[in-house]
Structure 1
Amino acid sequence: SIKALSALGAEVFVYAPGQVNPSYDIPSGVALRTAGFRSLPARALWGQAILPSLASRDRVDVFWGPAHRLPLILAERIARVVTIHDLVWVHAPETMRARTRIGERLLMKPALRRADRVVADSNATATALTTEFS
């Protein structure tokens, strides 16, 4: 977690395309980099075009994508970790909004291919990932 990494003395950066919910407890000493984007296209563009530059500028060693995605282009020296929570877009796509389903379909597979580590937050998700993508 951000708190645990910060407590260990790691330099931690949190990047967000829009404003961060004030109820999130961002520890002091964690660098928060936000942009003012609200629209989905602008946020998506930020994640693919601006975020990689920010990570490079901040000399990030490890980039963690906590929600199924990684930037398509990220400096090769940066290790990549992605967390996958579920494969709803594969098994129950009709339950998703079209734009979210399309984003998952377009960006999850490249994230899985480029990740140095994939974190599945349940055994069911780990099994589904192995079944679908091995």
Structure 2
Amino acid sequence: MPADIHQLTPLLYPLANRFYRQHQRGTKVGRQHLVWVGKKHDLIVSALCLTPISQGHWLTSLLVAPSHRRLGLAAMLLKHIRHEYAGPIWLFCAPELRPLYEQTGYRVASELPESLEDKLLRYRRHKTLIALINSPPV
């Protein structure tokens, strides 16, 4: 049974924060985020956070509960949000996650908005990350 995908209203953001905490993720959902979750039997099993930026959106977090991994839930969420937002969606990921994102239409970003370029440079001081983009068809 596939997960039901819903966008949370800000009043329900504590549910996403609890989900992230449950799985030892330091992600904190804030008012600036757009939060989407996948639910099975009324339980959150996956969550995704987007931050609107002037040129599109920045995907800041994607997590699938360990007990629900390898079921296609991450791809389902990624494909769903691609249909919800018109502009480009950027993300930073570890190189080993690149195939997951590429299967849903992401590719290496040759250019980044200035705000993301600065963040990527800062993050790369401590982690190996690549920048990807998914742009809607023109």
State TM-score, norm by structure 1: 0.36
Quick check: which has more Rg, 1 or 2?
1
Higher helix share: 1
Higher strand share: 2
State TM-score, norm by structure 2: 0.35
